[in-house]
Amino acid sequence: MDLQAVLDSIYAELSPRLGEGKVADYIPQLAKIDPHQFGMAIATTDGKLYSVGSADTGFSIQSISKVFMLTLALGKVGEGLWKRVGREPSGTSFNSIVQLEREEGIPRNPFINAGAIAVTDVVLSGHAPREAIGEFLRFVRYVADDESVVIDDKVARSETETGFRNFALANFMRAYGNIQHPVEHTLGVYFHQCALSMSCIQLARAGLYLAAQGTNPLTGHSVVSPKRARRINALMLMCGHYDGSGDFAYRVGLPGKSGVGGGILAVAPGIASIGVWSPGLNKVGNSQLGSVALELLAARTGWSVFGD
Ligand code: GLU
């Protein structure tokens, strides 16, 4: 299959629609982003790379970082992590507080904000916040095999100044003992992980370990066991798009994680890792054109995990 031709056809089809959706304006620094942008990259497990549009432009990966932090936390505490966070789709918005009260401070899954904050709190154990941020950045550079990945401090600061809901979620969990560090420390790490700036190409490469049973086929770096890679993919499929996860599975059929910066990391197990970015978001906070692009890709390649 000519994957470059597939990407080119998707780009051509979506070009007239650039600008659709709404950028995430609740984080002031993200509100400034021009929504008329689109990039997409595919890194295959046999070592090829295909890209189209602004695939080389860095953007704020936001919640996609939750996949990497989850990987790091599982490496530290293993299955014990599931005492702190569940594994079920939430069916509520990414920053919902209601469900957290009903479920006594144990978030539904590691990909909604509350769950990700609890996971970050686990990684923070035994470290100063600055060390945990450094460890996280080194880990992402390692999985991406790219030392140029950076954190955008302006985005981190912007969110620190305005992330009142995240402070509410974290304080709530602290009251239940599910946040074990000062809230500002845990959120300091969380805001920095979300502010990671990566391009579609870097993201596609960073996701390769999930497409290739836990080991990056390009570098030979073993990141997680095959079983763990499979399980992270399962969580991404069920919970990676907040309360739009069912619709994404229905339309695309691939494990994926979105972020409010407009990026999505998707995984075609055994075949490829895909990074797509377009800043305009749909109603549930997932990239509008990024989702459509992945739907077109799945249809044209037959890569859905449920068959063509
Ligand atoms: N940093 C964002 C927040 O906490 C992440 C949300 C997202 O990307 O979905 O609100």
48 is catalytic: no
pLDDT per position as a tens digit, 191-222: 999 999 999 999 999 999 999 999 999 999 99
Is residue 198 within a helix (H) or strand (E), and if so which, with residue range? Answer: strand 196-198
- Please report the pLDDT score of residue 154 as a whole number: 96
Give the model's confidence band at 91: pLDDT under 50 very low, under 70 low, under 90 confident, else very high: confident
pLDDT > 90? residue 308: no
- The one catalytic residue among 51, 60, 63, 90: 63
User: What's the mean pLDDT when you consider all of the chain?
Assistant: 97
> What are the structural domains, with CATH classification, of the chain?
3-60+198-301 (3.40.710.10), 63-194 (3.40.710.10)
66 is catalytic: yes
pLDDT per position as a tens digit, 133-180: 999 999 999 999 999 999 999 999 999 999 999 999 999 999 999 999
User: Hey, what amino acid is at 126?
Assistant: G
Q: How many CA atoms lie within 13 A of 237 on its CB side?
A: 20
Give the model's confidence band at 96: pLDDT under 50 very low, under 70 low, under 90 confident, else very high: confident
225 is catalytic: no
pLDDT per position as a tens digit, 247-263: 999 999 999 999 999 99
Closest C-alpha to ligand 1, atom 4: 113
**Can you tell me the mean pLDDT for 45-65?**
98
127 CB neighbour count, 10 Å cutoff: 15
Q: For residue 233, how far is its CA from the centre of ligand 1 (angstroms)? A: 20
**Can you tell me the mean pLDDT for 58-73?**
98
pTM value?
A: 0.97
Please state, for a pLDDT cut of 90, what percent of the chain lies above it: 95
pLDDT > 90? residue 94: no
Q: For residue 2, how far is its CA from the centre of ligand 1 (angstroms)? A: 35
Burial of 186 (0-12, 13-18, 19+ CB in 10 A): buried
pLDDT > 90? residue 32: yes
Cβ of 60 below 6 Å from ligand 1: no
Give the CA diameter of the chain. Answer: 54
Cβ of 113 below 6 Å from ligand 1: yes
